[in-house]
């Protein structure tokens, strides 16, 4: 059953608001928000298109979870605390069962990150989801791409290559057992935005980015913005057991370097702060791996047993 625009907003998206600073939320021409005193506002936007960023026939609950999580990941990369988000939803029809599942997933993920929906728009057309997230960070403490320095150690959180492996399974290019399938689908549809890790890094990190388009591409953004180069060691890349069992080592390495969709953090730490960082790792169970070093020059090189590994033709996902 289809529902009208204003009915679907009231029924599926006009939830009670309890977030800090929401003076007026859904229901008026604008939301009225108060930025926490002494903090800067961090804003990011992502658009996910059906058939491009997720399968059109996927569970709507999982589609919504993925949309929130990948957008909140941008806040994590800056070390920001999530506050609010807006939603632009374009869909072929306003089918109530689909909307019910989508709404459930949307607020499930939003609740996990304590981020409130404060407005948006709905319209008819090919399935596309646009989220704008808002967060706050202390002045001059936001992690930026431009602050990497020669000598910094390069780290990544979690595992790399899971997103690309999951997509290959979704496309039926590989078959996996039930346990591996569940793991890979969770990594694709419900990636964990590294909010806590990003906030910890504001105290000691130099530069950071989330791995959405592939490690080589995203680390390359840090290098270009900072005017430096990076050398990473292929043997250090953190690759999960399900991926190692799924494919040959070269494919696993290619996925880890260029696959994207992992939404882990890639960040740099100066040598003088490594001891402090080790203490944070132990105290907060900070899951990360040192994979290389920032050096002088430009670009990103990957070494395997001391030899340069030539990257694939594409260093990562590109939208055009």
- Over residues 139-188, the pLDDT tens digits come to 999 999 999 999 999 999 999 999 999 999 999 999 999 999 999 999 99
- Other beta carbons less than 10 A from residue 284's beta carbon: 11
Number of compact structural domains in the chain: 2
User: Is 250 known as a binding-site position?
Assistant: no
Of residues 78 and 53, the one with the higher pLDDT is 78
Question: Would you place residue 316 in the very low, low, confident or very high pLDDT band (cuts 50, 70, 90)?
Answer: low
Are 163 and 198 contained in the same domain? yes
User: Is 261 known as a binding-site position?
Assistant: yes
User: Is 29 known as a binding-site position?
Assistant: yes
Across all residues in the chain, what is the average pLDDT?
91
Residue 311 neighbours by CB under 8 Å, 6+ apart: 216, 257, 258, 302
Are 48 and 189 contained in the same domain? no
Q: Does residue 314 sit within a domain?
A: no
Tokens at 51, concatenated: 């058939």
User: Is 162 known as a binding-site position?
Assistant: no
Report pTM.
0.92
Domain containing residue 32: CATH number:
3.30.1330.10
User: Is 260 known as a binding-site position?
Assistant: no
Beta bridge partners of 266: 156, 209
Residue 187 host element (H or E): helix 178-189
User: Is 2 known as a binding-site position?
Assistant: no
Q: Pick from 113, 137, 161: which residue ends a domain?
A: 137
User: Is 145 known as a binding-site position?
Assistant: yes
Are 129 and 166 contained in the same domain? no
User: Is 134 known as a binding-site position?
Assistant: no
Are 189 and 263 contained in the same domain? yes
Which phi and psi angles does 212 have, rounded to 5°? -110, -35
Q: Does residue 224 surpass a pLDDT of 70?
A: yes
Q: Pick from 98, 121, 137: which residue ends a domain?
A: 137
What is the rounded CA–CA span in Å between residue 129 and residue 118?
Answer: 16
User: Is 74 known as a binding-site position?
Assistant: yes
Q: What is the domain range of residue 163? A: 145-308
Are 156 and 173 contained in the same domain? yes
User: Is 210 known as a binding-site position?
Assistant: yes
User: Is 120 known as a binding-site position?
Assistant: yes
Domain containing residue 276: CATH number:
3.90.650.10
């Amino acid at each position: 059953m289809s529902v009208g625009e204003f009915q679907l907003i009231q029924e599926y998206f006009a939830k009670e608001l309890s977030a800090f600073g929401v003076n007026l939320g859904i229901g008026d021409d604008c939301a009225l928000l108060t930025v926490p005193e002494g903090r800067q506002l961090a804003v990011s936007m992502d658009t996910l298109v059906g058939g491009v960023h997720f399968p059109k026939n996927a569970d709507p609950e999982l589609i919504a979870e993925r949309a929130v999580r990948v957008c909140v990941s941008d806040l994590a990369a800056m070390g920001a605390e999530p506050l609010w988000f807006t939603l632009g939803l374009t869909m072929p029809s306003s089918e109530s069962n689909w909307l019910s599942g989508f709404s459930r997933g949307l607020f499930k993920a939003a609740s996990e990150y304590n981020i409130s929906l404060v407005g948006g728009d709905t319209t008819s057309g090919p399935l596309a989801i646009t989220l704008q997230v808002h967060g706050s960070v202390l002045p001059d403490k936001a992690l930026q791409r431009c602050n990497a320095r020669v000598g910094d150690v390069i780290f990544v959180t979690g595992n790399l290559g899971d997103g690309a492996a999951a997509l290959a399974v979704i496309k039926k290019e590989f078959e996996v057992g039930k346990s591996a399938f569940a793991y890979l689908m969770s990594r694709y549809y419900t990636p964990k935005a590294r909010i806590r890790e990003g906030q910890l890094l504001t105290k000691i990190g130099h530069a950071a980015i989330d791995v959405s388009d592939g490690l080589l591409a995203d680390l390359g953004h840090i290098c270009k913005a900072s005017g430096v180069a990076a050398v990473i060691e292929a043997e250090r890349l953190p690759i999960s057991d399900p991926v190692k069992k799924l494919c040959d080592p070269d494919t696993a390495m290619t996925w880890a370097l260029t696959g994207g969709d992992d939404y882990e953090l890639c960040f740099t730490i100066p040598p003088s702060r490594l001891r402090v960082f080790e203490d944070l790792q132990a105290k907060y169970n900070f899951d990360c791996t040192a994979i290389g070093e920032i050096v002088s020059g430009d670009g990103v090189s990957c070494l395997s047993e001391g030899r340069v590994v030539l990257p694939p033709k594409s260093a990562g996902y590109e939208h055009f």
